[in-house]
Amino acid sequence: MGNVATINNPETTKAKPKLARQFVSFAFYQISPKWRLLSKEAKEKDKKELANLIEQFQKDKKCQVLTYTTVGTKADADFLLWVIAYELEPLQELVTAINQSSMGAYLKRSHSFLAMTKRSMYLDRLDPEHQEDRQHILPGKYKYFFVYTFVKKRDWYLLSMEKRQELMDEHIMIGNKYPSVKLNTTYSFGLDDQEFVVAFETDVPADFLDLVQELRESQASAYTLRDTPIFTCIAKSTAEMLDTL
């Protein structure tokens, strides 16, 4: 009996360690047309400096930086830096370093979204452990990346938790029909203008298109206030991404 009492005593039971949450930044940059008028040598020097800068941040383990081109897919953005860190300061340090680089004088940050990872409030009944994954992003395994911000109507938050779970059950069921599409949901409450930033990774863009179309027909979508702008991105190494400019 003594052993049982010891096992059930909360003071002697070790709590599971909390997963560290992450800050996530989606920084979209647009290059000035004036930069393209520079000599080939000057442009190559600028690109090399910026690539080395990003690589150094990776080596120092200050943050993860994934690079994507949006050339040809978005008029007011040429590339995306998807940045993930355990503290807010490395995100600021990276942007400061970019601004101070030679190429920074020609770069405009046309869109910028800040968020954090967080355990989902809603249970995935088909895969209950999935919600744990949202606290730690493991990115960069797919060629295509789709990003958009998301704001719900205030009426959504007035619904009971049971009703919201019921509506999300349909939403989650639709998502599970497209295993080729990986969802990364991050949360911006109090950090930025939007409430969520949703980012989808896939090798099959057609599956993502069909997924979004089907989600539009779900009951939960009636509570969407805004889910734009939307960005279509293609994964590239930093050097390859800079070459698309």
pLDDT digits (tens, 9 = 90+) for 152-188: 999 999 999 999 999 999 999 999 999 999 999 999 9
**How far is 77 from 30, CA to CA, in rounded Å?**
5
Residues 117, 21 contacting (CB under 8 angstroms): yes
Do the two domains 23-115+234-243 and 130-231 of this chain adopt the same fold? yes
Using CA of residue 240, residue 243, residue 244, residue 245, what is the dihedral sign? positive
* Interatomic CA distance for residues 33 and 205, integer angstroms: 30
Fold classification of 23-115+234-243 is: Alpha-Beta Plaits (3.30.70)
Distance between the two ends of the chain, CA-based, in angstroms? 72
Query: What ranges make up the beta strands (E) of 33-104?
Result: 64-69, 79-85
pLDDT given at position 60: 83
| Predicted pLDDT at 129 | 53
Number of H helices, E strands in the chain: 9, 9
Task: Delimit the domains of the chain by residue range.
Answer: 23-115+234-243, 130-231
In one letter, which amino acid is 195? E
| Spans of the chain, pLDDT less than 70 | 1-19, 124-135
Q: What would the CATH number be for the domain defined by 130-231?
A: 3.30.70.1030
pLDDT for position 121: 79
Going by C-beta distance under 8 Å and a sequence separation of 6 or more, which residues neighbour residue 53? 97, 98, 101
